Amino acid sequence: MAGPAGLVSKDEVKLLIWQAKNVNKSYSSRAGMFKSRRHAVLSDVSLQVGEKEFVGLVGESGCGKSTLARLALRLERAESGNMYLAGRSYADYQDKQEFYRSIQIMFQHATAALNPRWQIEQILEEPLRYLTDMPPAKRQEQIREIMAAVSLPASLLNVKPGTLSGGQAQRICLARTIILKPKFIILDEPTSSLDVVIQEQILELLRKLHQESGLAFLMISHDLEAIKRVAGRIVFMHEGRVVENVKTSRLHQVKNQVAKRLVNIGIVNQGGTK
Ligand SMILES: Nc1ncnc2c1ncn2[C@@H]1O[C@H](COP(=O)(O)OP(=O)(O)OP(=O)(O)O)[C@@H](O)[C@H]1O
C-alpha cells in the first residue's frame, strides 16, 4: 500500500528514481497599482517515483501540477525544498547534458513544438546529436529502433510533421521524449488534446512502453480515468498540496475528501470538477 504524501512504500520499491522533498514555490501577482502579493502555488510538496514505477499525478486545474513539472526539469527554481534524480541532489548535476539525458518531459501540446520545416528523422536526431556523443550510424540505428517502439513505419522518417495525423504526431513526440532512454520521464497531459480513439491508442502505447522499457514515468493529467489505465500509483494534488497517495488497485480506499470526490466523478475538467 502506498504511504502518505506522495511517498512510495519501502517494501515495494527499492530504488528511488526521482524525488521532490518539501518543495515550496510561489508567484507574485498584482495587488493594486504599485503593490504585488506572493501566492503559494506549491506548499511543502513531497513526491517520490521509484524504479520502474508509473505514477499518475491528478488534480484540478491550477493546483500546481505543471509548476511541479517545470521545477523537475529545472526550468524554474523552487524557493525551498530539494529534488533528487537517481539518488543525486539536483545541485550535484553540474553537467546539463548529463541531467537532461536522465530526465525528459513531454509537454501538453507537444506536437506544436515539432519544427514544421524539419523531417521527422532530423527531429528525432536532434537530442541524440546534442546530448550524446553517439556516432551517426548508431544514431540512425537508435532512430529506427524508437520508431518501431512507438509503432510507426520507418517510411515516415522522410516526411515533415504537417503530413502526420494527430496520433502519429503524438507518437513522434513520445519517441523524441524517450529516444535518449532517460531514467525518468514526465508526461504533462499527454492525451488531453486528442480525440477519444487516439487517446486510447496512446494510453495503450504508454502501457506497452512502460512494460517493455522498465523506465519510470510520472503522468500528469486532469483525467483520472486515463491515469487509471496506465499508472500503478496515483498521487492527488489540491491547491498546491499533495493530499492523497494510493495504489491504483486501492482507489476505493482513498480517505481525503477531495480525492474521494475526484474518484467518484472520474474526470477533472479544465475548469474544475465535472
Ligand atoms: N509564471 C507564473 N506566474 C504567475 N503565476 C503562475 C505562473 N505559472 C503558474 N502560475 C499560477 O500557478 C498556479 C498553478 O499553475 P499550474 O499551471 O502549475 O497548475 P496545473 O495544476 O498544472 O493546471 P492545469 O491543469 O490547468 O495545467 C495557477 O494559479 C497559475 O495561475
Three-state SS sequence of 19-74: EEEEEEEEEEEECCCCCEEEEEEEEEEEEEEECCCEEEEEECCCCCHHHHHHHHCC
256 pLDDT exceeds 50?
Answer: yes
SS3 state of residue 26: strand
Cα(114) to ligand 1 centroid in Å equals 24
**Amino acid in the structure at residue 261:** R
Cell of 112: 506544436
57 pLDDT exceeds 60?
Answer: yes
Nearest CA to ligand 1 atom 2: 27
Placement of cell 504524501 in the chain: 5
Mean pLDDT of the chain: 89
Average pLDDT over residues 197-205: 88
pLDDT of residue 269: 47
What ipTM goes with this model? 0.95
27 CB less than 6 Å from ligand 1?
yes
Cα(27) to ligand 1 centroid in Å equals 9
Cα 74 to Cα 109, 110, 171, 193: the distances in Å are 20, 18, 25, 25
**Amino acid in the structure at residue 39:** H
pLDDT digits (tens, 9 = 90+) for 135-155: 999 999 999 999 999 999 999
* Nearest-angstrom CA–CA distance, 63 and 111: 24
83 pLDDT exceeds 90?
Answer: yes
pLDDT digits (tens, 9 = 90+) for 96-132: 999 999 999 998 877 788 999 999 999 999 999 999 9
Cell of 74: 529545472
Q: What are the structural domains, with CATH classification, of the chain?
A: 1-29+39-64+80-86+183-194+221-274 (3.40.50.300), 114-182 (no CATH)
Average pLDDT over residues 61-82: 94
Average pLDDT over residues 251-257: 90
142 CB less than 6 Å from ligand 1?
no
1 pLDDT exceeds 90?
Answer: no
Q: How are beta strands 233-238 and 184-188 bridged, if at all?
A: unpaired
Average pLDDT over residues 53-76: 94
26 CB less than 6 Å from ligand 1?
no
* Nearest-angstrom CA–CA distance, 105 and 184: 9
14 pLDDT exceeds 90?
Answer: no
Cα 16 to Cα 48, 156, 157: the distances in Å are 7, 37, 36
* Nearest-angstrom CA–CA distance, 129 and 126: 5
